[in-house]
Amino acid sequence: MPSDVDLSAALSRVKESETSLVAQVLRTTVAAVTSYVAALLLTGPDPQPILSPLTALLVVQVTSYATFTTGVQRVASVVSGVLIAVMFSEAVGLNWWSLTLLLLASLGLGHLIRLGDSINEVAISAMIVLGVSQVADTAWDRIAETLIGAAVGMVFSLVLAPPVHVRPANEAVMSAFDALTRLLDTMAREIGEDVSHARAHGWLEEARRIDRDIVRVDATLSTAEEGTRLNPRGRRATVRVLALRSGLDTAEISAVALRMVCRALSGLYARGEHGEPAYTEIPLATAQSLRSLFHSLAALFAAYGHLVVLHGRALPEEAARAENTQRERLAEALEDRSRTEAILLADSIENPDRWELYGTLLTAVDKLVDETRPAGTPGDLAQRIEERRRRLAEERRLRAVVARPGPVLRERIRRVVAPTDRLLRAPRRLPRPLRHTLRRRT
């Protein structure tokens, strides 16, 4: 039976999801109707400006960043298509070969200026404008309605800013750490028993499933990251989102390391061609040490996940307690790791065929521990957040430089290409000694 706390949390998540859905529907509807009324006032009722609410309907997205990018892409696609249609209308009419050229030019231009999902809109706008008798009037109406709809959608995203979606990302990242913790607890509980190869392989399959689930967690967190951009509400959530991204990076690497642990255990419990054990039975002391180690790692990941969720909130006392708890769990895991290493070394001396699998297991355990280092070490969570923030800023700066190539970029390209170009460039004339040598031979 689920506890009252779990039930209330689930009901709260359902209520929040429904509230967000209703708010998005109302925001989109009001934006579309407002753009229609604005188009009626600015362009008149003849013809009906139905393109304006359609544009607003397509522009208003879940996040402000997506709204602005969609709005810019849609305006650019419509203007490009209209300009191509106007140029074609001056030269040729509408027939099969002019339509072919029109589509090739429209789609090619859309790919050239990287319009994304709005590439087809270039061709659609061009065909609609070219297919009417009054090209100039239709072209202006289509551009005006698109501008009105896109502008209304962008204004609504500023006035009625959408939520940042931090809570779904928070729960998604926490679910990744919960999955790692549950698997480690299961392994600790079952490894002391009579473990079959099928059960050990089941641990490996569960680790693979966790690795696949992290991809979905990454998609949820990416939505939250996008929600902080161009959003008035996003400034306060930036640190929390960066902390969640750092935590998810840790969970992703840890899932790979845990899969290595499970693969080593699956190899230890493997069976031969005739069903006989590939290795002798693991001693009781080794199983008990592994059980204690997995319990410590499970507690460590539970504490680290709790610390990641608290980072960035205005709860300094609770965060300090969580960090102290995480330090204690790390010390216990390190102690169990050292004790397990000594026991595995003694076991591998008596059973040298197992030393390679033991080495793989300990290497993966070291990776699990290193990923959860507290403050004051290279694994510091705050340091990771700051490094990621600088990396994102550098990526944005480089994208801006590449998007607007200038003298500085051309000079850098010249410096990179010039040495290679000199090496590849063939000399116009052979050196004098070599010319004399060839003459004597010929």
pTM of the model: 0.66
Reduced 3-state DSSP string for the chain = CCCHHHHHHHHHHHHHHHHHHHHHHHHHHHHHHHHHHHHHHHHCCCCCCCHHHHHHHHHCCCCHHHHHHHHHHHHHHHHHHHHHHHHHHHHCCCCHHHHHHHHHHHHHHHHHCCCHHHHHHHHHHHHHHHCCCCHHHHHHHHHHHHHHHHHHHHHHHHHCCCCCCHHHHHHHHHHHHHHHHHHHHHHHHHCCCCCCHHHHHHHHHHHHHHHHHHHHHHHHHHHHHHHCCCCCCHHHHHHHHHHHHHHHHHHHHHHHHHHHHHHHHHHHCCECCCCCECCCCCCHHHHHHHHHHHHHHHHHHHHHHHHHHHCCCCCHHHHHHHHHHHHHHHHHHHHHHHHHHHHHHHHHHHCHHHHHHHHHHHHHHHHHHHCCCCCCCCCCHHHHHHHHHHHHHHHHHHHHHHHCCCHHHHHHHHHHHHHHHHHHCCCCCCCHHHHHHHHHHC
Question: In a structure prediction context, what are the per-residue pLDDT tens digits for the chain, which is 442 residues long?
Answer: 334 434 344 434 444 454 567 777 887 888 888 888 888 888 777 777 877 887 887 778 777 777 777 788 888 888 888 888 878 777 776 677 878 888 888 888 888 888 877 788 888 888 877 766 555 666 777 788 888 888 888 887 777 777 777 888 888 899 999 999 999 999 998 886 677 778 888 999 999 999 899 988 888 888 887 777 777 666 677 778 888 888 888 899 999 999 999 998 888 877 655 455 555 677 888 888 999 999 999 999 999 988 888 876 656 677 778 888 888 999 999 999 999 999 988 888 888 888 888 888 999 999 999 888 754 443 455 565 566 666 666 666 665 555 554 555 445 444 544 443 443 344 444 444 434 443 444 4
